[in-house]
Amino acid sequence: MATPVKMPELGESITEGTITRWLKQEGDRVEADEPLFEVSTDKVDTEVPSPVAGTLQSIKVKEDETVEVGAELAVISTGAGQAGGKAAATPEAEPEKAAPAAAGTGGGEGVEAREERAKQAEPAAAAAGDGARGAVVSPLVRRLAREHDIDLSQVKGSGSGGRVRREDVEAYLEGRGKEARPAAARAGDGRAAPAKEGRPAAGAPPRQAIPLVAGIREEVTPATRLRKLIAERMVTSLATSAQLTAAVEIDMTKVMRLRQRAKDDFKAREGVSLSPLPFSILAVIQALRTYPNVNSALDEDMNLHVYQDVNMGIAVDTPKGLFVPVIRNADQLNLAGLARAIADVAGRTRDGKVSPNELSGSTFTVTNTGSVGTVWDTPIINQPNAAIFATPAIVKRPVVMDDPELGEVVAVRHMMYGILTYDHRIVDGADAARFLQKVKQALEAGAFARELGLDEGRG
């Protein structure tokens, strides 16, 4: 009994992925939902779990290979005779290893033949540039090459069969950057920096980290794959769009009083806690209906896509790093529905149970930096969104107010900054200000009593 392992759907518009690491080897025992391999796309790096329990009988796609969604990657044997680990591998597994990876490759062609054919095809792909290399480099590598105007035929690959990996592109960029400083005074000199000034060549021993500050004790820890991916995305986001941040002060007193009155009954009824976040997201959705250009994106050809639905990205802090799962059609949910959806995706993301498809497809993003006490923030846009809204901490402080009888008075209020980072290519400053005022008006009015089943007459 053999179960094929196929490349899963990894999100909207993603048609392929690169196997970056197998977490199990042929002959290893694997449990259902246990991480089986790591895959990289142009949007996310993630672990993919095993669909069944059994023994990993054969691996058909090697590390660094890029395959389409639905391609067969491996075979897991679920028979009792295969449960003994590597020693239990049956003779029938050997022909399986040599089977063709896809139809049309020749019935008798084995793994070695395919590898040799791939090596022979590599120079031709390199000579043809990025377009020809599209099938032999990962989507992430192609995107980096496109963003930094790199001819991949000039980049030496350290992957299997000379495949260009992300690390190779980063090394090439580092070398090019080092050359750019002395070359600034030499117009037209576009030579790449010598290899000795960049990263070590493939196969060379790793160079020792140079202390950034001399004379102090330190511990040097290599960045995780996720940390590198987050760093790359943040820098890419800033390089992609013209980002500007604006903010308004929001009096959250009415919201906080409603929350205080409703939170116990809400928890008993809905099964989740009632935080200020769903109130803010509901107000943001109302503002997006009025100013739909904030719920949009620019494509590579500078066409503006204005979305009619709101897929809300929610930034979630996890032990592994920052993830942004998506609540699809958030504009169709009421306050209770948003609270449940936030708790659901945030909990599953922290537990590592969110699917790759749930980490893409957002049209707007909210980040709740106030959950850890931050009172001010300048968030970076989650590409390709046009904007991101931050909800920092709500704090009590004295505020000057206009009382109809007493005139100007000082009162203690619950105050929060509503912060919007927006793409100035899409959203003008005046539109951003009007959007923030719409959010402010909705939250300060605090007209959420009916959604909470409360008497609207009480403040």
Domain chopping of the chain, boundaries: 2-97, 126-197, 229-452
Crossing angle of helices 253-270 and 429-445, rounded to 10° = 70
Say whether pTM exceeds 0.75.
no
Least confident of 178-187, 264-273, 297-306, 367-376: 178-187
CA-wise closest residue to 446 among 203, 175, 261, 188: 261
Highest mean pLDDT out of 98-112, 124-138, 205-219, 333-347:
333-347
Q: Hey, is 14 helix, strand or coil?
A: coil
Say which CATH topology domain 126-197 has.
Answer: Dihydrolipoamide Transferase (4.10.320)
User: Residue 80: is its pLDDT beyond 60?
Assistant: no
Residue percentage of the chain with pLDDT more than 90: 47
Confidence band for 145, pLDDT divided at 50, 70 and 90: confident
CA-wise closest residue to 316 among 340, 338, 297, 344: 344
| Predicted pLDDT at 176 | 72
CA-wise closest residue to 252 among 378, 370, 102, 77: 370
Please answer whether residues 60 and 4 qualify as being in contact, where contact means their C-beta atoms are separated by less than 8 angstroms.
no
Q: Hey, is 261 helix, strand or coil?
A: helix
Domain 2-97 has CATH 1.20.1250.20: no
User: Residue 112: is its pLDDT beyond 50?
Assistant: no
Confidence band for 310, pLDDT divided at 50, 70 and 90: very high
Least confident of 10-14, 87-91, 433-437: 87-91
Residue percentage of the chain with pLDDT more than 70: 76
| Predicted pLDDT at 231 | 87
Count of alpha carbons within 13 angstroms of residue 245, beta-carbon side: 13
Q: Mean pLDDT across the chain, nearest whole number?
A: 80
Domain 229-452 has CATH 3.30.420.40: no
Active-site positions?
424, 428
Query: And the tokens for 223?
Result: 């960045």
Give CA–CA dist 46/17, Å, rounded.
10
CA-wise closest residue to 42 among 11, 69, 8, 21: 11
| Predicted pLDDT at 177 | 60
User: Residue 163: is its pLDDT beyond 80?
Assistant: no
Range 191-207 average pLDDT: 45
Task: Give yes or no on whether 126-197 and 229-452 have one common fold.
Answer: no
Range 180-203 average pLDDT: 40
